[in-house]
């Protein structure tokens, strides 16, 4: 278990991390989410004993970062942001070095390195200087280094940063696989990543925790959560807007003017106004917002069916993590 | 201890895997030979002694040792690998000692490669091999002191060139404290006791005692504690600066 207790770090007058507490257990993949400058990396640097906190502490497997930093380091696999590695070494030598420092020697050391080259698909570049590798390969070298001693705890700072979409998928799959028997903290500012891999997410803004929960729970904080988006076609559909208000449990109906933007920020009135004409019929895109805690999908479907409108699309919104993220962290952006 | 060895091996290999090492050794050998033969006029002196060889070491090291040591921490901080190094189960002491010893060993190797000098002087006459031995020891310790200063300044800046310049200036100051002209200058306005105390801190005066064939324990202790002091300062600076 990693237990973080009121961790804080100041750089001069900058309060980079401002009293963060949480615990992560085995089998959990904790996503550390926040805008740039929120304090994600600084927190990770303190947990991995690189930086001493200004106040507070953290325990990894019951070893305190102040009292037993070496024990903590021995148990953590850490991938620092942008995966630094000794560029004047080749991949094999670099991993042999970390293996040596991790306490392996002889055959065991070689075997571990070979296994890592395999796991991280590095075999074909094993003898290449790290300097000459592409960003994707360097990231894999960083992974190999972090996983070499099969640590119980993994701290990954933006593990998919700079990777192409395929590589991102690979890395996410790898993390998910490892997450079953390890305790993982990863930071990211990519929201889809949190949904794809994390069992839990902590959003930090301005050095503080502003939300903590499963990705689903966080998403349900979205005003969109539980809303129903409809695309209707029919005659006299213009009048439907008022009609839809009558559905039980609906708090508010909003007409959607532009495909790309969420309702609240929809652009200039008049543009793409009020549905387009299609075969003499007109169409309408609306979003029904439920009253708090009410499920409206069923009622809405029934209602639309009764009115005999053609339904081009019917979507039950799960909520938008982007919106939650934005609302929780806006104003928290630092210069 | 095992980790010290790992760091040391990594650094030492780093030297020999880059052409810089060979360039350095060649320059070192050419410079020592050049100064000995052409400036000191070794052959004209007709004395079977390596004095004209060792007398140049404090001045050659002034540039060559900072060149060897400047990257030790600057590079580590610049490329961010310091974060890797200090999140591996390595202690600060192991890392600092490992790096220092690697660079020192490298300079030692360059120094050993000057053995043709000994052969030459042995062929031409019958030198006092005791003096040659203590002079080599003194030279090696002197290089260690320069290197420790360089390690300290290397930790101060991410920029190798700045580290180099600061190291050269600092080493120059440490040498000059004991050089005649400077002590004379100090004597001009300071009591002799104080200017002597100042020059007692110089690399130069302690190096000279080895050249006289003395195995002066005070000089050995001086260099060893100077190295220890600089490396301790190195550790403190690293702790302060590693976050940046
Ligand atoms: N070494 C440092 N010196 C001064 N300020 C720093 C240092 N490291 C980080 N900061 C500041 O601390 C804040 C948090 O940074 P960081 O933890 O890197 O954020 P994140 O990883 O979430 O993008 C930022 O405002 C950053 O400018
Ligand atoms: Mg960061």
Q: Which of A219, A237, A254 is the last residue of a domain?
A: A219
Angle made by CA atoms A25, A27, A28, in degrees to the nearest 5: 65
Instruction: Using CA coordinates, name the residue in chain B closest to A85.
Output: B81
Dihedrals phi, psi of B128, to nearest 5 degrees = -85, 105
**Is the CB of A86 less than 8 angstroms away from the CB of B10?**
yes
In a domain, A39, yes or no: yes
In a domain, A323, yes or no: no
Model pTM above 0.95: no
In a domain, A261, yes or no: yes
Dihedrals phi, psi of B209, to nearest 5 degrees = -65, -30
Q: Which of A171, A190, A219 is the last residue of a domain?
A: A219
* A43 and A161 share one domain: yes
Query: Which of A84, A88, A102 shows the shortest C-beta gap to B83?
Result: A84
In a domain, A196, yes or no: yes
* A190 and A138 share one domain: yes
* A243 and A184 share one domain: no
Q: What is the CA radius of gyration of chain B?
A: 19
Query: Which of A50, A87, A93 shows the shortest C-beta gap to B83?
Result: A50
Show residues of chain A in contact with B90, CB under 8 Å: 101
pLDDT score at A10: 95
How many domains does the structure of chain A reveal? 2
Q: Among positive and negative, which fits the CA dihedral A63, A188, A137, B79?
A: negative
Q: Which domain holds residue A259?
A: 228-317
In a domain, A127, yes or no: yes
Token pair of B75 as six digits = 């590079």
* Residue A103 belongs to domain with CATH number: 3.40.50.300
- The answer, yes or no, to whether any atom of ligand 1 lies below 6 A from the CB of A37, is yes
* A56 and A177 share one domain: yes
SS (H, E, C) A253-283: EEECCCCCCCHHHCCCCCCCCCCCEECCEEE
Per-residue pLDDT of chain A (335 residues; tens, 9 = 90+): 999 999 999 999 999 999 999 999 999 999 999 988 999 999 999 999 999 999 999 999 999 999 999 999 999 999 999 899 999 999 999 999 999 999 999 999 999 999 999 999 999 999 999 999 998 899 999 999 999 999 999 999 999 987 889 889 988 998 999 898 999 999 998 888 888 899 999 999 999 999 898 888 887 777 777 788 888 887 767 777 777 777 888 888 888 876 554 544 444 444 444 444 445 567 788 888 888 778 888 888 888 888 778 888 888 887 777 777 777 777 544 43
Ligand 1 center to A46 CA (angstroms): 12
* A188 and A266 share one domain: no
Distances (CA, A) of B136 to A121, A273, A279, B212: 50, 90, 99, 12
* A164 and A252 share one domain: no
In a domain, A324, yes or no: no
- The answer, yes or no, to whether any atom of ligand 1 lies below 6 A from the CB of A282, is no
In a 10 Å sphere around its CB, with 0-12 CB exposed, 13-18 middle and 19+ buried, how is residue B209 labelled?
middle
User: Which of A8, A13, A15, A16 to mutate to test ligand 1, by most ligand atoms within 8 A of the CB atom?
Assistant: A16
**Ligand nearest to the backbone CA of A158:** 2
Structural contact between residues A202 and A212, judged by C-beta atoms closer than 8 angstroms: yes
* A172 and A264 share one domain: no
ipTM of the complex: 0.89
Angle made by CA atoms B212, B214, B220, in degrees to the nearest 5: 120
In a domain, A102, yes or no: yes
In a domain, A330, yes or no: no
Token pair of B222 as six digits = 């001086």
Token pair of B164 as six digits = 């180099």
Confidence of residue B225 (pLDDT cuts 50, 70, 90): very high
* A174 and A85 share one domain: yes
**Is the CB of B79 less than 8 angstroms away from the CB of A87?**
yes
**Closest residue CA from atom 11 of ligand 1:** A16
Percentage of the residues of chain B whose pLDDT score is greater than 70: 100
Instruction: List pLDDT tens digits, range B181-200.
Output: 777 887 788 888 887 777 77
Query: Which of B2, B17, B80 shows the shortest C-beta gap to A80?
Result: B80
Nearest chain A Cα distance for residue B147, angstroms: 22
**Ligand nearest to the backbone CA of A12:** 1
**Closest residue CA from atom 24 of ligand 1:** A37
Q: Among positive and negative, which fits the CA dihedral A165, A167, A172, A173?
A: positive
CA distance A239 to B88: 68
CA distance B62 to B204: 12
- Would you give the distance in Å from CA A205 to the centre of its chain? 14
pLDDT score at A220: 78
Average pLDDT, chain B: 90
Structural contact between residues B61 and B142, judged by C-beta atoms closer than 8 angstroms: yes
DSSP characters over A114-168: HHHHHHTT-GGGTTSBGGGS-HHHHHHHHHHHHHTT--SEEEEESTTTT--HHHH
pLDDT score at A331: 55
Instruction: List pLDDT tens digits, range B138-161.
Output: 999 999 999 999 999 999 999 999
- Would you give the distance in Å from CA B205 to the centre of its chain? 15
**Is the CB of B87 less than 8 angstroms away from the CB of A100?**
no
* A192 and A52 share one domain: yes
pLDDT score at A4: 96
Show residues of chain B in contact with A50, CB under 8 Å: 83, 86-87, 242
* A150 and A266 share one domain: no
- The answer, yes or no, to whether any atom of ligand 1 lies below 6 A from the CB of A206, is no
Nearest chain B Cα distance for residue A10, angstroms: 11
* A280 and A154 share one domain: no
Mean pLDDT of B111-128: 89
Ligand 2 center to B128 CA (angstroms): 63
* Residue A313 belongs to domain with CATH number: 3.30.70
Instruction: List pLDDT tens digits, range B69-94.
Output: 999 999 999 999 999 999 999 999 99
* A92 and A179 share one domain: yes
In terms of Cα–Cα distance, which of A318, A271, A311, A267 is closest to A290?
A: A318
Collapse the DSSP code of B179 into the 3-class scheme (helix H, G, I; strand E, B; otherwise coil) and give the result: coil
User: Which of A9, A36, A39 to mutate to test ligand 1, by most ligand atoms within 8 A of the CB atom?
Assistant: A39
**Is the CB of B90 less than 8 angstroms away from the CB of A86?**
no
Give the B-side interface with A, CB within 8 Å: 2-3, 6-7, 10, 13-14, 17-18, 79-81, 83-84, 86-91, 242-243
**Is the CB of B14 less than 8 angstroms away from the CB of A88?**
yes
């Amino acid at each position: 278990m990693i237990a973080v207790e009121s961790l804080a770090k100041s750089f001069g007058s900058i309060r980079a991390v401002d009293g963060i507490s949480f615990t992560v257990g085995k089998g959990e993949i904790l996503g550390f989410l926040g805008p740039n400058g929120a304090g994600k990396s600084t927190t990770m640097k303190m947990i991995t004993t690189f930086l001493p906190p200004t106040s507070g502490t953290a325990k990894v497997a019951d070893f305190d970062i102040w009292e037993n930093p070496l024990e903590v380091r021995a148990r953590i696999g850490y991938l620092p942001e942008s995966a630094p590695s000794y560029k004047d070494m080749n991949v094999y030598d670099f991993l042999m070095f970390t293996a040596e420092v991790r306490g392996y020697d002889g055959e065991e050391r070689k075997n571990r390195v070979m296994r890592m080259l395999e796991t991280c698909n590095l075999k074909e570049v094993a003898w290449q200087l790290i300097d000459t590798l592409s960003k994707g390969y360097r990231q894999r070298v960083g992974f190999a280094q972090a996983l070499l001693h099969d640590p119980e705890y993994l701290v990954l700072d933006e593990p998919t940063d700079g990777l192409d979409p395929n590589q991102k998928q690979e890395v996410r799959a790898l993390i998910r696989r490892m997450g079953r028997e390890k305790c993982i903290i990863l930071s990211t500012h990519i929201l889809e990543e949190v949904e794809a891999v994390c069992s839990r997410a902590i959003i930090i803004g301005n050095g503080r925790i502003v939300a903590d929960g499963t990705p689903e729970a966080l998403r349900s904080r979205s005003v969109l959560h539980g809303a129903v988006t409809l695309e209707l076609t029919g005659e006299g559909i213009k009048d439907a807007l008022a009609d839809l208000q009558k559905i039980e449990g609906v708090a508010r109906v909003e007409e959607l003017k532009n495909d790309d933007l969420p309702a609240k920020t929809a652009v200039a009135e008049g543009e793409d106004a009020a549905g387009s004409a299609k075969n003499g019929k007109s169409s309408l895109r609306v979003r029904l917002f439920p009253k708090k805690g009410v499920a409206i999908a069923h009622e809405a479907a029934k209602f639309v069916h009764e009115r005999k409108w053609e339904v081009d699309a019917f979507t039950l919104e799960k909520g938008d993590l982007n919106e939650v993220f934005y609302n929780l962290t806006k104003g928290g952006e630092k210069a | 201890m095992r980790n010290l060895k790992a760091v040391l091996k990594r650094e030492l290999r780093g030297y020999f895997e880059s052409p810089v090492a060979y360039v350095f050794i060649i320059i070192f050998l050419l410079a020592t030979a050049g100064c000995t033969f052409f400036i000191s006029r070794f052959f004209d002196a007709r004395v079977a002694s390596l004095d004209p060889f060792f007398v140049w070491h404090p001045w050659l090291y002034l540039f060559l040792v900072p060149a060897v040591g400047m990257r030790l921490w600057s590079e580590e901080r610049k490329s961010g690998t310091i974060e890797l190094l200090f999140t591996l189960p390595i202690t600060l002491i192991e890392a600092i000692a490992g790096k220092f010893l690697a660079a020192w060993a490298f300079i030692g190797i360059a120094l050993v490669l000057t053995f043709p000098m000994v052969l030459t002087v042995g062929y031409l006459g019958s030198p006092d091999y005791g003096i040659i031995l203590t002079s080599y020891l003194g030279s090696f310790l002197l290089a260690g002191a320069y290197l420790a200063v360089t390690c300290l300044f290397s930790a101060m800046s991410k920029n190798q060139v700045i580290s180099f310049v600061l190291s050269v200036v600092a080493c120059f100051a440490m040498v000059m404290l004991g050089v005649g002209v400077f002590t004379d200058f100090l004597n001009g306005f300071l009591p002799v006791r104080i200017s002597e105390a100042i020059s007692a801190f110089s690399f130069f005066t302690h190096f000279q005692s080895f050249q006289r064939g003395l195995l002066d324990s005070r000089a050995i202790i001086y260099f060893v504690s100077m190295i220890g002091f600089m490396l301790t300062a190195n550790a403190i600076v690293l702790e302060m600066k590693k976050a940046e």
